[in-house]
Every structure is written in structure tokens, then in C-alpha cells.
Chains A and B, each alone.
Chain A
Amino acid sequence: MDLTLYVWRQNGPDEKGKMEQYEAKNVSPDSSFLEMLDEVNEELIANGELPIEFDNDCREGICGTCGCVINGVPHGPQEKTTTCQLHMRQFNDGDTITLEPWRAGAFPVVKDLVVDRSALDKIIQAGGYTSAYTGEVGEANQTLIPKPDADYAMDAAECIGCGACVAACPNGSAMLFTCAKVAQMAVLPQGQVEAAERVKNMTEALLNAGFGNCTNHYECEAACPKGVSVKFIAKSNREYIKALGK
């Protein structure tokens, strides 16, 4: 299949960017979206032009490195699918595709489709952990955890930290990312001791990093490649209210 691409090209954080047009010819429907971009880049290299920079690594949908806004939707048209797992059979011959980086105040553009997501690391550093020392921490089966709680924690822990939720949110909020971690830890006995401190510190870090707050658009859940639910935002908000009294 043949496609027309409009790709955001930007040389650096302080440079002005613009959309450039490229043609992708003879694309195999079995190739992945990033493999399609690889081929466009090979063509650009052959013509002595600068290839498009885009972040990617595992190419199996788990590391959270890749991601761009495809036709206005973070990670593109297929539900619960990262950009690297999107395959070209989702498109039709002759389609026009626009590609842009994550757009959010807290994610400055580094180059082309690459953004700086270090703000997400800062949120985890503020409290997204239990303070367990490495060493003798007690036998694993000593604390029973009901299966529904373990499953709930796992649902929250599925987050891959790609930042699609931020890109999708009209407020550029990282609430889904933050609250998923708060909720995972809050439901587990190991995380409950520090729950109040955690939710306060992580929320503060979120706001300090320049992310907006949540106004219930639910765009984050729709864009999330792992289907992390907005119910964790509600859980985290309850944790926050509880923490205020402490």
C-alpha cells in the first residue's frame, strides 16, 4: 500500500517545528507502524536527508518508550495498542497519516517526535514505592493478600509509563499515571503504612512538574495502551482526602 505522511519535524526544544510531507510506498500490511517509519527513514538516508527521530526500544508494547500522536490520537487508531504494536493493516492504501509528538507542557520536545518525559520519573521519586530495605523482609507468604486485591493492584501496575494519558488529556494531566501507582500501593498491605505520605507527595510532585489536574474527560483511559482505568483516579482522590486528615 502507498501512504502520504505528514510528520512533525523540529530540530530542537527551542527551534520552531513544522509538518513535512513524505510518501511511504509499497508498505506491507504485515509491517508494524515503526517498521513503516524505518523504511521511510531508509529512503531519506539514501537521499541524503535527515531521518525522522522517534523514540522506540522493545517494539513489543511493554517498555513504554515509543509513542506519537497518529491522526490526532496518541498511539493511533487501534484500542489498547502501543505505536510499536500498531500494524499497517489498520490503514488503507492511499491513506494520509499525520504524526506528531506528545504535546504537553511538561513534555518538552527534544527533536522531531521525541519528547522529554523525565517529569514522570520525578513523580515516582516523590513516593511511588514502599520503603522496604533490601535484606530480610519476612517470608513472602506470611502476609496473605486476597486475590481481588492482588488483581486490582496488578490492573493498576500494568501502566507502562509511556505518557499517552498526558498527551490525550486536554489539561496535560498525568493523573492516570500517578494515581495508578498510588492505587496499586494503597490496596496492598505492604504499601498501606506509607499511603498518606505517598499520595500527598506524589500529587505535589505532579503539580510541580507542570502537569494539569483532572477534570474527568476520560481521554486518558481511552488512549491508554494498557487500558488502565480511571477508577484509579477516584481511588487516589479518596486516598488524598483521607490523607488530609493525617
Chain B
Amino acid sequence: MILDGKCPSGPIEKSWDKHRFDLKLVNPANKRKYKILVVGTGLAGGAAAATLGELGYNVEAFCYQDSARRAHSIAAQGGINAAKNYHNDGDSVFRLFYDTIKGGDFRAREGDVWRLAQVSNNIIDQCVAQGVPFAREYSGLLANRSFGGAQVSRTFYARGQTGQQLLLGAYQALSRQVKAGTVKVRPRTEMLDLVVVDGVARGITVRNLISGEIESHWGDAVILATGGYINVFYLSTNAMGCSVTAAWKACKKGAFMANPCYTQIHPTCIPQSGDHQSKLTLMSESLRNDGRCWVPKKAEDCEKPVNEIPEEARDYYLERKYPSFGNLAPRDIASRAAKEQCDDGRGVGPGKRGVYLDYQSAIERVGEDTIRERYGNLFDMYEKITDENAYKQPMRIYPAPHYAMGGLWVDYNCMSNIPGLFVLGEANFSVHGANRLGASALMQGLADGYFVIPYTIGGYLAGVKPGEVTDEHAAFAKSREDVKAQINKLMSINGKRSVSSFHRALGKIMWEDVGMARSKESLEDALKAIPALREEFWQNVKVTGSEGDLNNQLENAGRVADFLEFAEILATDALHREESCGGHFRVEHQTDDGEAMRDDEKFCYVAAWEYKGEGKAPELHKEPLKFENVKLAVRSYK
């Protein structure tokens, strides 16, 4: 099937405005008759639930956390982009659009990215009106900083906690709607199935994580804003509870999974310290504004203390390889460069899997106090984890799985191929192409939630009769039975291996064979190893406790079971994409100097996969990508 993204035609500058006008509206008096379910309360879901409630819809919001304020958007550190051009440094909506398309290695839809760039400015206005305490200059004006992949200063921030402050803004807007009675929030509730009736999304099946009860909820539309799937690598910068479950259940009900092989490995994370490790910690990319990445030129210097390695014996590899962007090269490029140095035997720290991120010259230039003001909390966090003082010695960093550019396929309206199922934020595939630029995830989450879905969902609901199908429909009972059957199965295996040992084993396969450098051989190995591990899981997993109670083991068992299925589709996508682009690097497709080599002839499309059942190959559907405003070019940061 050839998919149509339904992008508006005509000049791109007018595309969103025209589309907004063309969308049908729902009469204000009728809005309250429509019920909308929002799953996930991060930036995308929280903003969507708050805004739709404010518009008068009857909204129910669900999250697995104990409060809507804790979604993992909260952990974003560095900032949020907007094309305000406050610094007169040449920024514009077009430049943000261009940078995002290029940063994504020409694998995103032009229309969606244009809209993102256009509404980026509204987001900053909105957040300021909510009382988000962005950093400011002494003039009282908003402050900006630079981020990777851009040559303008367009990133707004709130110390090293931008995600936290933006999420609290959305959470507070949501709280206001809870008080107004338009939104009901159901925390500690996990979506375990999508209910589809006659091809239309009509509701969800959830588990109450406290009582263990399996409940049905119906809605005239269902919005998934459930984040990314990068925990498929086990060790990642995501929170422990982040999973692919909601998206994967939707996929098993017919929603297409787009570009799952586009995974972002973030260059600046704290290296792994041992087998006890449960997660990896990101150090904001903003650190590369002032920090310089280096490794010793000679492998024999790697064990030496830093102060015994003279300046001329240091290889500032990013500045050497990419003189025009230097330490601000985009994430995919910076990560691969770090891996290259370590593969060359010049890594530092335990296992020689690390590179230095050095502040010495920045401290000499602007002083320790200024560096402390900019990054103090990050330096403190680094010290807590590693017991090292980064003001005195360089940080050690190494790439770690961080973000999923791929996700459920959606059209320009953020609606999946299942009518009535909308997907927002990291959970969809739409704007980042094959690589996301720093400070763009927060922008997308809030753009989708505050400024896109409130319009596009109206266009859908205007053609839907409210309450046409409710949870009395047999499909809801069937879904509850399916969910209960899976839970009973998990509880009854009573095998020998713990849930987390399976997750760890899956992560190892994914990191080694489907990680930063992929080959036909490694992917074929993974495609053998994943089903084998899955089979063992269903025979040998041990889930303690009971299903009618708070049971973290059972929650995780369900999530790991879904990762074990999803991983296969990710590897399949990576194997089929015989090119290198952004975060997807196939060793067979690289230039002489090791840069990614795209194949626009064959692969300039979105790969959307349809699940066909266990043991069956998923079916590939393509959405061709057209570039009318940006010229397809080799992406260079040299």
C-alpha cells in the first residue's frame, strides 16, 4: 500500500494556516458530548488533555505514574527551540524548518516540520504566560543558548531542568482543567489494549496498577502520547517505566509502526560503571556549548592521568573532523565519532569506553562561577554518580540510547491509519526524520499537544456521532478477556529467570547487533536471537506476587513481553533499509571517511510496518517523501 500523509498542497508558508481553515469545527455546545481519551501525561499528552478540556471536550487522561507531573518529559535538561530570532543572528521559521529537515537527514515530511517550526514561537509565548521561569538576561529579556546542529542561538531554557519546568506548566494547565471538571486524570493506570470496532478506535483497556482491576474506557477518539521505545535497549536514558506497550498494542490492532530503526544514541551520557547498572544518565547536550570533546592521540596515553597528557597529545576529534560545527555537531555524528575513537583503542576510563568532555578552557575563558551558573546542577549530578569533580578534571562520557525518532505512523493530522486513533509526541514518527536535533523533542511534544491536536481532532470529530460506541460493545469485553488471559499466562509460567534478566538479555542483543553500527550479518543474528529469547521468556519467566495487587514485577513482565515482539520489527526495518541515514548506520553504506551514505533513489520513503501475527513477517507500506522546499543534499557539518 502506498500511504498518503495528506499534507496540504500549495505554498508551504501558508500550508498550516490554510489547513486550519479547511478543517471542520465542532460547535462549542456540542464539544462536551464528545469524550476523548488521552494516554500519557507528558508534554504532548498533558498539553493535549489540558487544551482539549479547555475547549470544552470531555477528557479522560491516563498515566502509569502516581501523578501526571512525573512523565519522563520531566527529565529533558537542555532546552526548547523556537524561531524567535531574538538575537538577530539570522534565525527564521524557514531556518528552523531547514535545520530540522537537514538534521533528520532528509527523512521527515516537509509539511509537518514546517508546522512545527511555525508554532514553535507560540509555544514560548504560551509557556511564559503559564509562569514557566525561563532563564533571563539582566535586561529582563529571555535568554538563549546554542545547541547541536544549529548555527543560531534559538534554545530557550530553565537552568538544566527545562523539561521539568515545561511539564509542570502543562501539568498545572491540566490541574486547572481538573478543577474545572473537564478532565479526569487516572494515575497509576496502564493501557494494555486498544479497542477497535469496525476499523475505528473506540477505547482502551487498562489495568489499575493498585487494585489490579482490568477496566474498559470508551472514547470518541483515543490519543496516544505514550513516549518512545528506546528502553528496548534496556540500558537507556529513559525512565524505568517507559515502554512500547501502548504503541505496540495499537500496532497489533492494525496501526502501522513507522521507521522503528531510527533510534537516537545520545553522545553525552555517563559511561556504564558495572553490571548492577539499571539505567544510563544523560548529561545535557548543552554541555557541548562550552565543553570540548577529546581523547589522547596515542592509545598508550589512555591510562595516564589527564594532567600528564599535554595539549599537543590530545585529539579534539570533533573540532578536527567538523571544523565548522566542532563540538556542536549533531547527535548522531557526535556519537559515531566517539565510538570511532574508542574502537580505535583511544577511549578512556573503565573498559576504555569513554571520551573526555573538558571544561578547562571554558573555565579559563569565562570563570568557574559562570560555568557553575550554566551547568551547576549537571556537574553536581555527575559528581554524585561518578564521585569525580568536573570543575577539576574532565567529565567522561559515552553514547547511550536516548530517543526514538520512529513511532506509530500518522498523517498530517496526527491521526494513525486507524480512524480515531491519534498519536502525539515521541510516540509518533512525524518530524525528526532519521535523527532528532537537540531541544526539538520538547518543541514537538508541546506543538502537538497545544497547537496541532486541538485543531485536527475537531476535523475528525465533526464527522463522528458522539457516544456511538460505548464500553457496552462486545469488543470491550473481548479485549478485557484477552488482557486477562495474557496476565494469567504470565503469572502461571513460574519459571526460573526474573523479568529483568530477560530485559537485560534483550538489551544486550539490541545494543550489540542493532545499536550504533548495524550490518546485514548483525541484524540477521539479532533476528534469530530475539525470537529465541522470546520463546524462552514465555516458558521460563518468573513473575512473583499476585495479579490483584500492586505488582511491579507483573507490570514489567508485560512491558518486556512487548519489547520482545517489537524488537523484531525494529531489526527487520533496520535490515530492510539498505542505506545509512541519521541514527541508522549500516556499516555497508558509508563514505571513505566513515560518514553515513544515504540512498535517495531507493529509500526516500517512510517505512510503515503492518503487524501480521507472531512468526509472520510484517508487511511493509511506503509513504514516499517529497522535497519541494529543501533540496536533497549530502548532509555535511564540516
Residues in A lying within 8 Å of B, measured CB to CB: 12, 28, 30-32, 34-36, 38-39, 42, 44-46, 48-51, 53, 55-65, 78, 80-81, 85-87, 89, 110-111, 114, 116-118, 120-121, 124-141, 143-147, 150, 153-154, 157-158, 160-161, 184-185, 188, 190-191
Contacts and interface: CB of A to CB of B under 8 A. Distances in A.
A150 B134 contact: yes
Contacts of A30: 273-274, 276, 387
Contacts of B361: none
Contact of A38 (B127, B141, B276): B276
Which of B139, B164, B450, B500 has most chain A Cβ within 10 Å?
Answer: B164
Given A50-B544, A57-B241, A118-B66, A143 B74 contact: no
Interface stretch (B29-37, B277-285, B529-537): B277-285
Which of A80, A86, A116, A130 has most chain B Cβ within 10 Å?
Answer: A130
Given A59-B279, A134-B173, A51 B381 contact: no
B172 A124 contact: yes
Given A65-B66, A147-B137, A53 B552 contact: yes
18 contacts: A49-B544, A51-B544, A51-B553, A58-B70, A81-B384, A85-B385, A86-B384, A89-B387, A118-B67, A121-B68, A124-B69, A125-B178, A136-B125, A141-B84, A147-B138, A157-B158, A161-B69, A190-B129
A224 to B, nearest CB: 14
Contact of B75 (A31, A63, A110, A120): A63
Interface string B88-130: 0000000000000000000000000000000000101111111
Given A59-B240, A154-B158, A144 B141 contact: yes
A235 to B, nearest CB: 15
Given A31-B273, A35-B276, A146-B136, 9 more contacts: A30-B387, A35-B278, A45-B544, A50-B545, A51-B553, A116-B66, A132-B130, A150-B134, A153-B131
B171 interface: yes
A136 to B, nearest CB: 8
Contact of A191 (B47, B70, B131): B131
Given A34-B278, A141-B141, A58 B133 contact: no
What band does the interface of chain B fall in when counting residues whose beta carbon is under 8 Å from A?
A: 35 or more
B278 A38 contact: yes
A140 B84 contact: yes
Given A134-B54, A145-B136, A31 B274 contact: yes
A30 B386 CA distance: 7
B140 A146 contact: yes
B187 A134 contact: no
A46 B47 CA distance: 43
Which of B128, B135, B542, B553 has most chain A Cβ within 10 Å?
Answer: B128
A3 to B, nearest CB: 14
A100 B124 CA distance: 42
Given A42-B498, A45-B544, A111-B549, A134 B50 contact: yes
A1 B187 CA distance: 38
Contacts of B187: 118, 121
Contact of B72 (A57, A110, A127): A57
Contacts of A61: 381, 384
A124 B171 CA distance: 9
Contacts of A49: 544
B505 interface: no
A42 to B, nearest CB: 6
Interface in B185-222: 185, 187, 210
Contacts of A129: 130-131, 172-173, 175-176
B444 interface: no
B276 A31 contact: yes
Contact of B164 (A42, A81, A160): A160
Interface string B608-622: 000000000000000
B168 interface: yes
A140 B142 contact: yes
B161 interface: yes
B239 A185 contact: no
Interface in B225-260: 237, 239-241
A150 B165 CA distance: 13
A111 B72 CA distance: 23
A150 B240 contact: no
A46 B67 contact: no
Nearest to B127: A140
Contacts of B141: 141, 144
Contact of B125 (A131, A140, A154): A140
Nearest to A139: B125
A184 B134 CA distance: 12
Given A128-B172, A153-B131, A133 B70 contact: no
B487 to A, nearest CB: 17
Contacts of A135: 126
A136 B179 CA distance: 23
Nearest to A116: B66
A176 to B, nearest CB: 16
A145 B67 contact: no
A94 to B, nearest CB: 19
Contact of A87 (B69, B159, B385): B385
Contacts of A185: 131
B128 A55 contact: no
A131 B179 CA distance: 12
B66 A134 contact: no
B129 A137 contact: yes
Given A46-B498, A141-B86, A85 B384 contact: yes
B81 interface: no
B51 interface: yes
A60 B172 CA distance: 22
B65 interface: yes
- The 3 A-B pairs of least Cβ separation, nearest first, read A144-B140, A129-B172, A132-B129
Contacts of A110: 210, 550
A184 B172 CA distance: 13
A172 to B, nearest CB: 18
A130 B131 contact: yes
B454 interface: yes
Contacts of A131: 176
Contacts of A63: 65, 70, 72, 74-75, 239
A144 B68 CA distance: 31
A80 B384 CA distance: 10
Interface in B538-580: 542, 544-545, 549-553
A243 to B, nearest CB: 18
Contacts of B384: 61, 78, 81, 85-87
A141 B142 contact: yes
Nearest to A186: B131
Contact of B133 (A51, A136, A153): A153
Nearest to A48: B544
Nearest to A158: B161
Nearest to B159: A154
A146 B139 CA distance: 7
B500 A42 contact: yes
Contacts of B454: 134
A59 B240 CA distance: 8
Contacts of B135: 150, 154
A65 B54 contact: no
B131 A62 contact: no
Nearest to B279: A59
A8 to B, nearest CB: 15
A132 B131 CA distance: 9
Contacts of B133: 150, 153-154, 157, 184, 188
A28 B274 contact: yes
A19 B462 CA distance: 58
